[in-house]
Amino acid sequence: MRIPIHREGWRFIAIFLALNVLFFLISPWLGWVFAPFTVWCVAFFRDPERIIPKGAGLVVSPADGKLLPIVLAAPPAELGMGPEPRVRLSVFMDVFSVHVNRNPMDGRVVAMNYRKGRFFNASFDKASEHNERMSIRLRNEAAGEVGDLVVVQIAGLVARRIKCDISVNDTVRRGERFGIIRFGSRLDLYLPPGAKVLVSPNQHVKAGETVLAALNEGK
């Protein structure tokens, strides 16, 4: 069976395989002890296809993982959206989750900001404020500025590398891949006013496939 691998993973898989071969040459026992780590590396960078839901105004999960408590919080200040709290959905990815990130909705990238920070455990609430992050502001053209949604890639305790493949003014499609975070991390989603949340805390969600919310597009 062919396992789809994200392009960011090939060099790491090559390193793990080379080390595994070396350990087998030194000692078969040592090689077998290291083998699960090589298998884990391959699994970490897997990039399975997803069935993208159809329908106007749907917001899908940007990541695989467990939904953390739903809270009201102001979006990242660097995006210039003001201090008004919004519903924030947070998906925690452990080291066994698929780590490829997908766009939560159709729209246009109107602002982005990368900010250096710390590396608290991504499951902690303070990670949203203090950890290294890439913040992305998406505009749903059907709703205008009031319908702007924010997705934030957040580095975690182990994750030290945020990769984002989109730029300001790019048009994005719901469910398309836009980045990856290594190794264990979190994504926050700040919903526009009037959005209806369709999931519950502790629910396990899939990137590009699980519908998190429905937008109010004024229809």
Q: Just list the catalytic residues.
A: 185
Q: Is pLDDT of 164 > 80?
A: yes
* pLDDT for residue 149: 94
pTM of this structure = 0.83
pLDDT, mean of residues 181-210: 90
pLDDT-derived band at 219, boundaries 50, 70, 90 = very low
List, as own/partner pairs, every contact residues 52-57 make where C-beta atoms lie below 8 angstroms and the sequence separation is at least 24, other chains included. 52/174, 52/175, 52/208, 52/209, 53/174, 53/175, 53/209, 53/211, 56/142, 56/217, 56/219, 57/140, 57/142, 57/214, 57/215, 57/216, 57/217
Q: Is pLDDT of 11 > 90?
A: no
